């Protein structure tokens, strides 16, 4: 169903905000918060339709890329003292990657790389336990 005429200004504002955020925000956490907040301000019943619009698609892709970069960077200097924080990052990332089918494939690649990585068995056990109990 087309948007009621009264929602066009709101949708246009949110759309323009998403375009700007995709260009200017670097933090995956902030990008994800913007996505979720914007989706709540629009009709939550049409989340999947909104996610297919160019503005949201660009914003979600940017968020997913930012998570990939952040996870890679954190892995370089990861110590056992950082494991809990890292597992929380993975949990947050999953929420962002769940927004698109391609994102879930990317996230599964991230998990497989972590499983095969140089990190300890303990880190992988914590991540896999978190993923088993995760509900978006």
Asked whether the CA dihedral 70, 72, 76, 81 is positive or negative, the reply is positive
The model carries a pTM of 0.80
Ordered per-residue pLDDT tens for the chain, 136 residues: 444 444 455 666 677 777 777 777 789 999 999 888 888 877 667 777 777 777 788 889 999 999 999 999 998 889 999 999 999 999 999 999 999 889 999 999 999 988 887 767 888 888 988 888 765 5
């Amino acid at each position: 169903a087309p948007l009621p005429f009264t929602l066009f200004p709101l949708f246009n504002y949110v759309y323009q905000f998403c375009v700007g955020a995709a260009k200017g925000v670097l933090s995956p956490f902030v990008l994800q918060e913007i996505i979720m907040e914007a989706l709540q301000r629009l009709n939550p019943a049409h989340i999947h339709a909104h996610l297919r619009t160019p503005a949201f698609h660009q914003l979600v892709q940017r968020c997913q890329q930012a998570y990939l970069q952040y996870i890679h960077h954190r892995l370089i200097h990861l110590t056992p003292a950082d494991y809990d924080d890292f597992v929380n990052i993975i949990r947050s990332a999953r929420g962002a990657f769940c927004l698109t089918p391609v994102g879930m494939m990317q996230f599964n690649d991230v998990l497989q790389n972590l499983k095969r990585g140089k990190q300890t068995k303990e880190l992988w056990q914590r991540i896999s336990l978190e993923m088993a109990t995760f509900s978006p």
